[in-house]
Structure 1
Amino acid sequence: MDSLRSIESFVKAVQAGSIAAGARLQGITAAAASQNIQRLEKSLGVRLLVRTTRKLAMTESGTLYYREVEPMMAALSRAQSVITEFQGQPQGRLRIGASVAFGRHVLMPLVPTFTRQFPKVSLELVLSDHSLDHVSEDIDISIRFNQQLEPGLIARKIATVPVLFCASPAYLHRKGVPVSPEALSQHDCLMFRVPVDGRLLSWGFQRDGIYYEPELTPSIVCNDIDSLHRLAVEGAGIARLAAFVASEDIKSGALIALFEQGETPSVGLPLSFYACYRDRHAMTNKVRAFMDYLVEVMPSTW
């Protein structure tokens, strides 16, 4: 077992990019992981890793060794999942990644019911607007919208969420109501900067089946959706928000949805959300149970 733990520390360090990050995936200290790797190197009689202050790199021997042991460790992990779940209730740790807004507004209200149904499953939620890597961050399921899908992942659609363009009554009283998306060039637009690549998230509309993006100039830019939501409620401008973020404020009158009325209404393109996993080997009972649960409880309307 000690040898396996040492090999696991080596594999996790390579996958995560550092010994400390790999140790977190193992649930041990960085010092313990470093000692594991040192023992492995001593038993093999070769240096596997080159440690510098800026990065971790494999030696030639390390590259050859990793190529052989990584599939073995993956197979052992799958075997453990199969045995622990065989003819039994889903159990074990389930690590789920999602964007901050989706996690806060959609997942959090749903999690307690799932954990009551499956008390042997221990959930770990990783909320981030940065790109999540299933291997290096040991993610079992990631929730992504259509623009975030990556080749190689298996994706199951769980929801289609309307996108709304909203402003407070106070802002609209002060600046006027834009009658069409083209009028946004005369308004204060609150825009989201995508943390993954630094681009501004475009505001796309569809009218009579034709997609277009109006010209606009951002007045405030932020990389957090909930902050843009708060700014809109406080009257700072017009924001592009998923329905699960804005719907309660629209119901209460704190925000007003724009462009959806009139003879030729313009609507923002909806977001399609998917539950993603690595490959067919990653489809354990606990993964299947959570994905089935999401499909079952997602609202049909937002």
Structure 2
Amino acid sequence: MDTLRGIESFVRSVEEGSIAAAARKLGITPAAASQNIARLERALGTRLLSRTTRQLGLTESGRLYYDRVRNVVHDLEQAAAAVSALHEEPRGQLKISSSVAFGRHVISPLVPPFAACYPDVSIELVITDRSIDHIGEGIDISVRFAQQLEPGLIARKLGSVPMIICAAPAYIDRRGRPETPDDLQHHDCLTYRFAVDGRLFRWGFVRDGLRFEPELRSTIISNDIDTLAQMAIAGAGVTRLGAFIANPLIEQGLLVPLFGGDTTKGIASVAHEPLDFYACFLDRHAETPKVRAFIEHAVQSLKGRW
């Protein structure tokens, strides 16, 4: 236990910039924190910190030791929090990150009813398509589609969203209606570019049980799905939208769905490849009651929606 106290006092001193600040963080006196570090140094047989009246610095041994043990304190805190919170009601701050379009149209409407059910949980929703650092940004849950998943995160599937290829009636009147995905190479396509790595989002289909990506002629590219939807409404071309965006626009007559699997003209049935969305969290220790509660709320709310 003395070693663990020493490691905790040492790591906090480095992070906070002084032993006094570390002591305040730990709720102990500066003298106690200093003694914990001194005992740790004696046990290791080396000095970890260079102390002056104005500055606290790491020795060469201290830098090496800090790199090896700095995650220990975080892991211990997470483990303690997970155990103590196992049977608690959801409470505290819940920070959720989501990709822009899905967050705007799907996740944000789920937040008010969740907040009403759990008044002890305060919620922050971060809407962004950039890469997210769970630890550095304090993110409890990140909502991502399959192409955004990263190794090391635990992912729980929220649902599969149908993808709809569509265009405005004005565009179809002007350029004609593509009959198959292969016809897209002769049409103006409005495509999405990933903000994180600059890749273009490919359009996947399944025909006779086989997945394929048709050749596209991208005439307009954007990193925002809602922008592509508005340009499609204006008659700029054919685009690919999630059902949560496309369906209301189709119901209003602003867009027309394409490739509905019509075989009356001898065309093989074509299925649009769906987009799978996941709620991700860092590790088992991060699956606190508030995290479990929101994921369950999202899964139940979205069940059977598409």
TM-score under structure 2 length normalisation: 0.79
Please, which runs of 5 or more residues in structure 1 have no aligned partner? 12-35, 50-58
Measured in 2, the distance between the counterparts of 1:281 and 1:81 equals 5
Q: Deviations over 1:254-285 (max 9, x none)?
A: 11110114212322210111111111111111
Give the structure 1 partner of residue 142 of structure 2. Answer: 142
Measured in 1, the distance between the counterparts of 2:222 and 2:57 equals 45
Measured in 1, the distance between the counterparts of 2:63 and 2:245 equals 47
Structure 1 residue identity aligned to 2:297 = Y
Measured in 1, the distance between the counterparts of 2:14 and 2:190 equals 45
- Give the C-alpha shift of residue 193 in structure 1: 0.7
Give the structure 1 partner of residue 282 of structure 2. Answer: 278
Contact 2:98 2:144 in 1 (8 A): yes
3-state SS of the aligned residue for 1:151?
coil
3-state SS of the aligned residue for 2:137?
coil
3-state SS of the aligned residue for 1:122?
strand
Question: Taking structure 1 as reference, are residues 269 and 9 closer, same or farther at Cα in structure 2, changes over 3 Å only?
Answer: farther
Identity between Structure 1 and Structure 2 (%): 46
- Give the C-alpha shift of residue 9 in structure 1: 8.9
Aligned length: 266
- Give the C-alpha shift of residue 196 in structure 1: 1.3
- Give the C-alpha shift of residue 66 in structure 1: 4.1
TM-score under structure 1 length normalisation: 0.80
Measured in 2, the distance between the counterparts of 1:177 and 1:8 equals 64
User: Which structure has the bigger radius of gyration?
Assistant: 2
Give the structure 1 partner of residue 73 of structure 2. Answer: 72
Give the structure 1 partner of residue 17 of structure 2. Answer: 37
- Give the C-alpha shift of residue 106 in structure 1: 0.2
Measured in 2, the distance between the counterparts of 1:163 and 1:135 equals 32
Give the structure 2 partner of residue 195 of structure 1. Answer: 195
- Give the C-alpha shift of residue 291 in structure 1: 1.0
1:121 aligns with 2:118: no
Question: Taking structure 1 as reference, are residues 38 and 297 closer, same or farther at Cα in structure 2, changes over 3 Å only?
Answer: same
- Give the C-alpha shift of residue 142 in structure 1: 1.2
3-state SS of the aligned residue for 1:135?
helix
| Pairing of 1:98-117 with structure 2 (within 5 A) | 98-117=98-117
Structure 2 residue identity aligned to 1:123 = I
3-state SS of the aligned residue for 2:214?
coil
Give the structure 1 partner of residue 302 of structure 2. Answer: 298
Give the structure 1 partner of residue 63 of structure 2. Answer: 62
Measured in 2, the distance between the counterparts of 1:161 and 1:231 equals 22
Contact 1:94 1:140 in 2 (8 A): yes
1:204 aligns with 2:210: no
- Give the C-alpha shift of residue 204 in structure 1: 1.5
Please, which runs of 5 or more residues in structure 2 have no aligned partner? 1-6, 23-29, 35-48, 51-55
Q: Deviations over 1:205-246 (max 9, x none)?
A: 111111111122211011111111111111111111111111
- Give the C-alpha shift of residue 125 in structure 1: 1.2
Question: Taking structure 1 as reference, are residues 161 and 9 closer, same or farther at Cα in structure 2, changes over 3 Å only?
Answer: farther
Structure 2 residue identity aligned to 1:148 = Q
